[in-house]
Amino acid sequence: MRPSGRAPDQLRDIRITRQYTMHAEGSVLVEFGNTKVLCTASVEDGVPRFMKGQGKGWVTAEYGMLPRATNTRNQREAARGKQGGRTLEIQRLIGRSLRAAVDTKKLGENTILIDCDVLQADGGTRTASITGACVALVDALTYLLNARKIKEDPLVGLVASVSVGLYKGTPVLDLDYVEDSSADTDMNVVMTQQGGFVEIQGTAEAEPFTLDQQQSMLTLADSGIRELIRLQQQALGW
Amino acid sequence: MRPSGRAPDQLRDIRITRQYTMHAEGSVLVEFGNTKVLCTASVEDGVPRFMKGQGKGWVTAEYGMLPRATNTRNQREAARGKQGGRTLEIQRLIGRSLRAAVDTKKLGENTILIDCDVLQADGGTRTASITGACVALVDALTYLLNARKIKEDPLVGLVASVSVGLYKGTPVLDLDYVEDSSADTDMNVVMTQQGGFVEIQGTAEAEPFTLDQQQSMLTLADSGIRELIRLQQQALGW
Amino acid sequence: MRPSGRAPDQLRDIRITRQYTMHAEGSVLVEFGNTKVLCTASVEDGVPRFMKGQGKGWVTAEYGMLPRATNTRNQREAARGKQGGRTLEIQRLIGRSLRAAVDTKKLGENTILIDCDVLQADGGTRTASITGACVALVDALTYLLNARKIKEDPLVGLVASVSVGLYKGTPVLDLDYVEDSSADTDMNVVMTQQGGFVEIQGTAEAEPFTLDQQQSMLTLADSGIRELIRLQQQALGW
Amino acid sequence: MRPSGRAPDQLRDIRITRQYTMHAEGSVLVEFGNTKVLCTASVEDGVPRFMKGQGKGWVTAEYGMLPRATNTRNQREAARGKQGGRTLEIQRLIGRSLRAAVDTKKLGENTILIDCDVLQADGGTRTASITGACVALVDALTYLLNARKIKEDPLVGLVASVSVGLYKGTPVLDLDYVEDSSADTDMNVVMTQQGGFVEIQGTAEAEPFTLDQQQSMLTLADSGIRELIRLQQQALGW
Amino acid sequence: MRPSGRAPDQLRDIRITRQYTMHAEGSVLVEFGNTKVLCTASVEDGVPRFMKGQGKGWVTAEYGMLPRATNTRNQREAARGKQGGRTLEIQRLIGRSLRAAVDTKKLGENTILIDCDVLQADGGTRTASITGACVALVDALTYLLNARKIKEDPLVGLVASVSVGLYKGTPVLDLDYVEDSSADTDMNVVMTQQGGFVEIQGTAEAEPFTLDQQQSMLTLADSGIRELIRLQQQALGW
Amino acid sequence: MRPSGRAPDQLRDIRITRQYTMHAEGSVLVEFGNTKVLCTASVEDGVPRFMKGQGKGWVTAEYGMLPRATNTRNQREAARGKQGGRTLEIQRLIGRSLRAAVDTKKLGENTILIDCDVLQADGGTRTASITGACVALVDALTYLLNARKIKEDPLVGLVASVSVGLYKGTPVLDLDYVEDSSADTDMNVVMTQQGGFVEIQGTAEAEPFTLDQQQSMLTLADSGIRELIRLQQQALGW
């Protein structure tokens, strides 16, 4: 039924590769099918000015796409001289989501900068980014603990994210680009390891959706995210 | 119980004033309590390049805040040389929401540019913007019909928007700034006159929220939006 | 004789409304006929770097127009990524004019930021801005005095501004947009309560003007500004 | 009495050197004492979009200062990424002033771009720019006539400009930097060969000025500009 | 002797992986030891405005580094709002080098846009970029030939690039980051398959270098580039 | 044989005029035939942040062209809002070259800012800039010594620069614009007074060049630079 041939509740092949590049404290290549995102977590001393003196840390994120990550080439944002609205929206979402994973008091006045750069896009780049970045974040926290820069583990729990949508009226999980383009509704969901909702962003593309449809989509997201969290744990060797 | 003294399901005083300024085809001052937004709808011939030749129209939005609309002055975005991420995110939301109100085929190759400028902010500026802009949009469509630039009314139905949140565990409607600052969850909901969901954007500020809480918040939003649509209709003299 | 039907020496209906918005220390809606400008005065601790350590305060101004304040929509400067030359020229003029109203030594190391945002334009936005902003400035000075942040009133005297022009050879006062567009000469004059000139900016649009014409225009401006200062005083309850 | 030792009504040494550089259709080095500005006039086919199809030409100007034209180095505007407010204000003034010298109908759909670049600054850069640029403009018009690109001379008359001010209460002509810094009032005046005023921009630096003072300053400017126009004519070999 | 333990004339391990991502007409991951660059070649119809109507094609390049490609994180250029001088310099070099590989007349009015994005940096990112991009370029030309968009192969010959330097007085090939940081001289050389020089960019870091040293470095570069071209051919299956 | 009629090894007329403008610590007009560049050296206290506390000085350069320095007018970079790639490349080259002339330890924590502004361009603007800027730099160092701001002369030796190229197969020295446009190869060489190479930047425009050709060009550059250094010494009165 789905263009991808997957069952409605079936994730794409998910791969989470740690230590993908050598410089960052956390470096993860996350693949949701053909969507491939390099997520790095960089540790920096200190916090931004607006947070100084509170004894708390900061987690923030930036997002980018390589110009030819997509089917037709997009203009390089550095060459255009600014990040687009979509980019800013996504990186704000990633930042908020990862802050839900961390107790910033235990982080001390350290900053963790997440960079999510899409090497290849096939739908779901923001959900893959959050899922991969959380693993990179854990590696950066481990680095801080091992380097004796912090004493307690600031991790509250893993967070992961998946998209759900209505494809010809049926709720489907983890849409690829083709499915996303023809879906009636697109919803990105971020949840914690404990099963709580961190973010829900649902948009009716063609037809408005009902409370019932919304309910079914969230239920589907919940099961997908449980599986993603299991894969994050596996990648982390937990 | 609420800082504002309102009942959990009580909207602020809502005022919708049409023809607030004289140049725009639609011009509405919308007030949600102390939040005041000037929404104008400007009609322009033609459509952006990426839509040319499809015989369809376009509806888009821009959002801004006067520097001292808020308690402490914000730097003027024109002086900083760019719009911030929050601004871009909100104007993208307004644009998507209003496109759900319109049949772009019936609009012909005309563009309607919505400007939402916040004169005074006290929480809920994006939901007030959408609610007021929809009335300005209707006035702009009426202008197009009266000027014989289009033949059929492109309006599919009104859209309106409200925020809901969890305040000390209780779902509350239409949060003002003080309530929003201390709420656990903040959710912005956009719905059509027909009762369908157009957008749901929920963010857990402190604690993740549950499926049940989400459900209660949406139910509350639904009742608030029905009332807002009634007020839009009243303002339009329907 | 004038398109507006006014006598050559007749101002438009002037309205000055204080406390128009709630957050700013001074907030004034000024109306010169259909020209409506929201002027806020924001008090900030400290002064810009180039003034530090001199024990003196600073007054500066920013100016903007809502995109649809005018008959055809102007591109939003925040979206274009820069303020235009006209904007910068006007805000420099407003800043210089208001600094003439204040003894910066008595202001201490405080900054007053004036924002003039045009809600509706019909000619004379810069002269209305100066006239309204001066009232907002007085309210901000009163705030500083009441809050015991300064000891002496820094106000040297009110300043106000009006445009004069040559319309079909006759000097006319306070031109609206239609008159301004067809005037031969356009002159903006800023004066103090004491009757001194602070700024004169005259431009021959079509034909150069003579010393005599210049003289008559300044005399007309002088009488208009006296009336405007009376209205400022009335608004201030003096 | 004046820091420069000049009589109140005495210009600095003025030099106007044509064909100072080799590529431009008009190229003039203008010197007002130690102020040195290179003014070029470049002829381009066609007019900006907003003027197309009217059969009229366009004259516009840009202004810049070399970073070390001044006593302390100014940041290069190209490196800062934008032109400052002062720069924009001056180039708008230069453009308006030169358009007063030309009958744009006789210019056909040609554009003359004036560049005024200050090599060394010692006060009065904008007045020197206008005075020198007018000579470069005449050379560019001659080029157009000689190249048979236009049939009639579009020159309406020369324009020139000088500053006047109040120095210790006395009106003085053509202020250098030291005089300008301590003057009470600074007024820039642009006049035509025929003796009409094109622009008057007067600013009270310390004390407001009176109608009488303004009158005396304009009279002084008038005599200075007559002399400048004589020097322009001499340079042009008229 | 070298920090890397390599012989003076020894390249790092070179790997050239084609079809590394799926959307681009040419997509190559090139590795010079730990330096990893993703090079894509995108085919676009038409040429930039300045080349229209000449019947010739265009090859151009853009370069970027992921923020954490390096040991300490670099600010994202898209977030800073501009590309730095180093970036522009490198992408101009890549573009010029690849244009030497192509007969633009045979390319027709098509553009090939090369993107070189550094995933991991360890010295020599520009030389790796050129070497990898040339293989991606060949794949894009093959695409154009197979798609019948051009008739003749525009490839004049492969180009490749390597760095050479003086390390403690000895000429060494293909410097990694540690070697580069302590080298006296750094020279980047681009050559064609036919053995001609396309670009030489040599910089004395500490001590100026002599004609003899320059000679030895070029000889070393020549042998390294021959080997790189052999590896390009191998990767292309020639 | 050469379009300029010069012998292959003949420089253009070189003129080096010191104290060309009055404000800068060093100010030199350098002329290579019709190429005229104003080079100023400005002394500033302190060093950029990345160099603080090392007890060393800094030398850096900026480059610009007046819009009509060239045959057709170039858009003003300050108006475009950014410096182009060519500009950045050239100013980085000038900065690196001049740092080779100075022992930054002896300079103390002082910065010398070089500005090279092209008044008239006819090929070789970057080589003229380096050659003239070095003389301005020496004057700035003398200023520092005379003002007792430093104790020892930081000058290591003069640097100068010239272009060489292959014109119809023959190596030629110091190409003007016409020669440069039709040359097969263009090479810019920077050397020290002691005869060492500081920078070599060679680009094959049409045909790749050989090791032999490269050798002949460098030999030619060497003789030209010896002559330029003699002229620098003459200008300095050494």
Instruction: Please give the Cα distance from F131 to E128 (Å, whole number).
Output: 34
Taking residues E8-33, what's their average pLDDT?
98
If you average pLDDT over residues B214-218, what whole number do you get? 96
What integer is the mean pLDDT of A27-32?
Answer: 98
Between chains, do C200 and D200 touch, taking CB under 8 Å as contact? yes
Residues of E forming the annotated binding site for phosphate?
86, 124-126
Exposure string over D225-238, b if 16+ CB within 10 A, otherwise e: bebbbebbeebeee
- Residue F82 has a pLDDT of 93
Could you report how far apart the first and last alpha carbons of chain B are, in Å?
A: 36
Cβ distance E218 to F222 less than 8 Å, yes or no, reads: no
Structure tokens at F73: 């007018």
Work out whether strand D58-65 and strand D110-120 pair parallel, antiparallel, or are unpaired: parallel
Rounded CA separation A185/A80 (Å): 31
Q: What is the pLDDT of residues C96-133, one digit of tens each?
A: 999 999 999 999 999 999 999 999 999 999 999 999 99
Cα end-to-end span (Å), chain F: 36
What average pLDDT does this structure show over B147-154? 97
Cβ contacts of D70 on chain F, cutoff 8 Å: 23
Mean pLDDT of A146-169: 96
The interface residues of chain C toward chain D in range 50-109, judged by CB-CB distance below 8 A, are 82, 84-86, 88-89, 91-92, 96, 100
Question: Any idea where the domains of chain F sit in the sequence?
Answer: 14-236
Q: Do B21 and C36 touch (CB under 8 A)?
A: yes
Contact A71 E42 (CB under 8 A): no
As a whole number, mean pLDDT of residues C10-34 equals 98
How many CB atoms lie under 10 A from the CB of residue B225? 27
Q: What is the mean predicted confidence (pLDDT) over A200-224?
A: 95
Task: Identify whether the C-beta of residue C49 lies closer than 8 Å to the C-beta of residue C42.
Answer: no
Residue A1 has pLDDT above 90, yes or no: no
Closest CA to F189 of F166, F162, F212: F162
Cβ contact, residue pair B23, C68, below 8 Å: yes
Interface test with B, best of C19, C23, C125 (most B CBs within 10 A): C23
| CA gap C96, C114 in Å, rounded | 11
**Gap between the Cα atoms of F139 and F27, Å rounded:** 8
The answer to whether the CB atoms of D76 and F62 lie below 8 A apart is yes
Cβ of D169 under 8 Å from any chain C Cβ?
Answer: no
Task: Using the predicted structure, report yes or no on whether residue B1 has a pLDDT greater than 90.
Answer: no
Q: pLDDT grade, residue C174 (50/70/90)?
A: very high
pLDDT of residue E80: 95
Count of positions (residues) in chain B: 238
Chain F neighbours, 3+ Cβ pairs < 8 A: D, E
Give pLDDT, residue C52. 93
In this complex, the chains that touch C, judged by 3 or more CB pairs closer than 8 A, are: B, D
**Sorting pLDDT into bands at 50, 70 and 90, what band is C144?**
very high
| Mean confidence (pLDDT) of chain A | 97
- CA–chain centroid gap for C186, Å, is 16
Q: Which of F82, F88, F210 sits opposite E196 (nearest CB)?
A: F210
Per-residue pLDDT at E206 exceeds 90: no
> Which residues on chain B are in Cβ contact (under 8 Å) with C42?
67-68, 73
User: Coil, strand, or helix at residue D164?
Assistant: strand
Q: Which helix (H) or strand (E) holds C73?
A: none
Sort strands B58-65 and B110-120 into parallel, antiparallel or unpaired: parallel
pLDDT score, position C205: 85
At E69, the pLDDT band (50, 70, 90 cuts) reads very high
Percentage of chain E beyond pLDDT 90 is 97
Count CA within 13 A, CB hemisphere, residue B37. 32
The rounded percent of chain D whose pLDDT value lies above 70 is 100
DSSP D108: -
Average pLDDT estimate for E197-226? 95
CB contacts of F193 in chain E (<8 Å) are none
Instruction: Choose among F82, F89, F214: nearest Cβ to E89.
Output: F89
Mean pLDDT of E10-39: 98
CA distance E57 to E149: 12
List of chains touching D (3+ CB pairs within 8 A): C, F
* pLDDT tens, position by position, D173-185: 999 999 999 999 9
Contact of B110 with B55, CB cutoff 8 Å:
no
Amino acid at residue number C4:
S
| Helix, strand, coil shares, percent, chain A, to 5 | 30, 30, 35
pLDDT for res F178: 96
Cβ distance of F115 and D78 shorter than 8 Å:
no
Cross-chain CB nearest to B62 (options C27, C40, C76): C76
Q: Which residues contact C181 (CB under 8 A, 6 or more apart)?
A: none
Residue among A160, A65, A169 at smallest CA distance from A122: A65
Interface D–F counts its CB contacts (< 8 A) at: 97
Q: Which of B165, D69, A74, B187 is nearest to F40 (CA)?
A: D69
Residue B86 marked as a ligand binder? yes
Q: Do C120 and B82 touch (CB under 8 A)?
A: no
Task: Calculate the alpha carbon distances from E35 to C50, E19, E72 in Å.
Answer: 46, 18, 15
Q: Do A196 and B207 form a contact (C-beta atoms < 8 A)?
A: yes
Q: With CB atoms and an 8 Å threshold, state whether E214 touches F202.
A: no
Quickly state the pLDDT bin for D65 (edges 50, 70, 90).
very high
Name the closest residue on chain E to residue A81, using Cα atoms: E81
User: Quick check: E143 pLDDT over 90?
Assistant: yes
- Write out the binding residues of E: 86, 124-126
User: What pLDDT score was predicted for residue A205?
Assistant: 85
The answer to whether the CB atoms of E202 and F197 lie below 8 A apart is yes
- Predicted pLDDT at F206: 81
Mutate to test the interface with F, among E87, E184, E197 (most CBs of F within 10 A): E197
Work out the widest C-alpha separation in chain A, in whole angstroms: 56
Strand order in the sheet with B14-18: B14-18, B26-32, B35-45, B110-120, B58-65
DSSP string, A162-203: EEEEEETTEEEES--HHHHHH-SEEEEEEEETTS-EEEEEEE
Q: Is the pLDDT of residue A113 over 90?
A: yes
Chain-chain contact of E21 with A115 (C-beta, under 8 angstroms): no
Place of tokens 């789905």: A2
Q: How many helices (H) and strands (E) does chain B have?
A: 5, 9
pLDDT of residue C1: 84
* Nearby residues of E43 by Cβ (< 8 Å), 6 or more positions away: E25, E110, E111, E112, E140, E143, E144, E149
Nearest to C108 by CA among C51, C156, C60, C39: C51
pLDDT digits (tens, 9 = 90+) for B87-128: 999 999 999 999 999 999 999 999 999 999 999 999 999 999
CA–CA distance, D2 with D170 (Å, rounded to integer) = 10
Residues of chain F with pLDDT under 50: none
Give D222's contacts (C-beta < 8 A, 6+ positions apart).
C211, D189, D191, D195
Coil, strand or helix: which one is C180? Answer: helix
Tell me the pLDDT of chain D averaged across its residues.
Answer: 97
Tell me the shortest Cα–Cα distance from D183 to chain F, in angstroms: 22
C-alpha closest to that of F90 among F55, F47, F124: F124
> Residue A189's pLDDT is what?
98
Comparing CA positions, the residue from F40, F23, F68 lying closest to residue D123 is F23
- Classify residue E102 by its DSSP letter: B
Mean per-residue pLDDT of chain E: 97
From chain D, the residues in CB contact with C187 under 8 A are: 200
Mean pLDDT of C209-236: 97
Alpha-helical regions (H) of C170-210: 177-182
Q: Do A23 and E79 touch (CB under 8 A)?
A: no
pLDDT at F1: 84
Residue B71 Cα distances to B34, B66, B68, C7, angstroms: 12, 11, 7, 43
- C-alpha–C-alpha distance, residues E118 and E70, integer Å: 9
Q: Please, are residues D189 and D164 in contact by the beta-carbon 8 Å criterion?
A: yes
| C14-236, CATH topology level | Ribosomal Protein S5; domain 2 (3.30.230)
